[in-house]
Structure 1
Amino acid sequence: MEQKQYVQWFRNTSPYINAHRGKTIVLLLNGESIADPNLPNIIHDIATLSSLGAKLCIVFGARPQIEQKLAEHQLESIIKLTHRVTSDTALPHIKDAVGSIRIQLEALLSMGLPNSPMHGADIRISSGNYITAQPIGVKEGIDFGHTGEVRRIDHQAILDDLNHGRIVLIPPMGFSPTGEVFNLSSEALATDVAKAIHADKLILFQKEAGVMQDGQLVRELTPLKIKTLLAEHQLDAIIEANLKSSLVALNYVSRVHLISYQSDGALLQELYTLNGQGTLLTREPSEVLRRASISDVAGILDLIQPLEEEGILVKRSRERLEQEIEQFIVMDWEGMIVGCSAMYPYQDPETKTTWAELACVVVHPEYRGNDRGEKLLHYVEQQCQQRQYNTLFVLTTRTGHWFMEHGFKAIQPEQLPPARKELYNWQRNSRILAKSI
């Protein structure tokens, strides 16, 4: 990476570093992710995330490891009603599998930073009897034995460890006040932990990068879309379980992320880049189009100044922008202004029609994609329809083809409403494109 590219990348990343510092994040590493060769890279990225100030709680699963242990001892693996039946004879082998994983993760977290450029960073891991459990009991005539569910979480103990800078590691086991041990669902446990400690995010690792539709990664889902997916599509069992857990979790956390355990760097890319690496599940869309306010002036100036310097946009002073801020629309991505446009109305006294000029349509070059330009245009068109404007027009020197692809047609300066025609800069010789609304 060239020096200028690195500087630009670091500048784009720094807001996310600041946004996640001090935030509480629960990560679910299922047994499949622990068995994957990419696990050391995941652990290194978790350690990096911790060193950047995030408070991390790792819940892990052990499904394939348990299956292997039971098979080695010629014991049948019984799954009923999506739960494992944990018999007296199976329980010791389940404890063996879970204990081995816990030791493996603690070892990887202990060596992750010394073998990196961040050598010397202090990473501490805490684990313990945070989870009080109770048996599921008998359901539909099936005795689930030592399979349990969460009864209580010692959330204060977890928070104390997190506030002291420790990574908290929670196995899928719970304990009763009488000393019994229960095998727990890691997906349900991660959701319960996120709820108990009021986590800001829940991150679920799976084989796929996220939710796929028609071969394309779905970048963002809201609860309504999740319910539609579950009702109308046949999904992979793990993805289906993750989506169901996410629906519950979104009642308590604002963001759930589905990312691939096979993709090196997926965790850092998901949290520290705009488009991420997987599927974001959120109560409300993270990208919002809204009317600009005076507090957005600095963000808008950062967007438009490079294009002004190239002569693509007419220069606007800060004072003028502050005066015209009510005409602007901004694209807000979690507090960052990544796009903007402006709309200026004009009345034609002869025809009694109202025109609107679309101006200053900008999407930050690092964040182009996902049809953000089209979203800005569509929003402005909706505003025109609501205000009963007849025609939307734009003056452009470079992007005429893009507007023509979206239904605009060329007109002459003489066809503009009189007030705008008087302001037309013949020296700049901009093309004028218009669209009936």
Structure 2
Amino acid sequence: MIIIYWVLTIISVIYILFKNRRFDLFTIAVVFHIYYTFPALIGVVVVGDGLYYSEVHFHAYIIISIIMLTLLTTMFLYDRKQYKNQQKDSLGVPGTKYILYLLTFLAFSLLIANIGIIGIEPFFNTDKSVLSQHFRGFYDIAIWVALSAIILSLQNKNLKIMNLNFFIIIFSLFVGSRAYITLAIISIGLLLLRDKRLKLIKYKRILFFTGVLALFLTFYKEIYKIIKTFDLSQIIASITNFETFKDASFFIESNSIFASLNIAVEQNFRQDPSVVYDILVSTVPLLKDILNFFSNEQIFISPRFAPVVSKEFFPYIHWGMGSNIWAEMYSIGGILTILMFLGLWILIIWYGNKLLISQSFMAPFLLPAIVYSTFYIHRLDLTLVMGAFKIGLGLSIMFFIIYKISIKPYLSFSYSMRKQNVNKNINYN
């Protein structure tokens, strides 16, 4: 099976590098699928200094080969469609600058509110368990709002507002999260290159910049705690000390994530399918609280797959192993649920590609969740995926209502007033 997977990988790499095509979400999906399944190209999975060491299971090869083949096939079919870029004016509606201003105001208001509630000290804490306790609600939503504002500001060619919102994303990097800056950079790249059909192999600067960025984000994990001290001498000493980076590896994360899938199929791990119901309940706003209120005990929690795998298979590893969506799907219903989720994921990517070149009102609000679930899907679980789309849908509904009840009437009133003034000037003359 390793030979088959190598062949699929090589074909996919050749296609995205040498084919004259748009840089799109399928490109991102293939690149990150290869990264997160890198152990399969070697044939073994290693976590830590031999804390977990195993050959890649035959069934794991089947699963990732099906995913790769599906990505390659649908990417080819999408390219044959040759959708035209319909992007003329961001949302396709007048007054988008007001939505952009409101998004920016909301993002900073939520961030300031979070700081006001918990104080500034937790942001400088280096313990991720403490960070996860404090950075919920306002802070999380502020990041997603800022991501929507970045996309909309780029569509409107308003670089000042984009840079302003990018400050929040940089702040999240300082706090310790690398996912959001990766998401922002990928989104910007997709928007800037959406009109161009190109052979990536010819754009060596882009490939070089991507490689440098990937290495920076890999090594940043080792130094972000030192950066929080604001001690310049300590930061320089840490950066120049080889010991700081000797344990850093570009593929440590892919091994940790792939280990969850490998051991899940190896042990034929199963969860009760009712966990899907619990996830759905946890996603609907207030529903979990209502059901718990009418229950004698707290029976509905927010199910996360990573703690389940860590407790079941890696109790001796004292750092976060991360989730694996394919392992979670396998644990719920085997290959059938993997195929069902794979089909849904492909549809989301296809729809996301169309949003990139459309005038849809939903685009700036849904694209962050779609890009997030395209490149980061392998280390997410169903709860996180649905949470991202919940925020995106919530923002799109909220701003659609705001547009209908305030911005559109204001624009109509302004237009009628200008028209009256023009008629008066004509009559006067």
- Normalization by structure 2: what TM-score? 0.22
Higher RCO structure, 1 or 2 (CA under 8 Å, sep 6+): 2
Higher Cα Rg: structure 1 or 2? 1
Name whichever structure is richer in helix by fraction.
Answer: 2
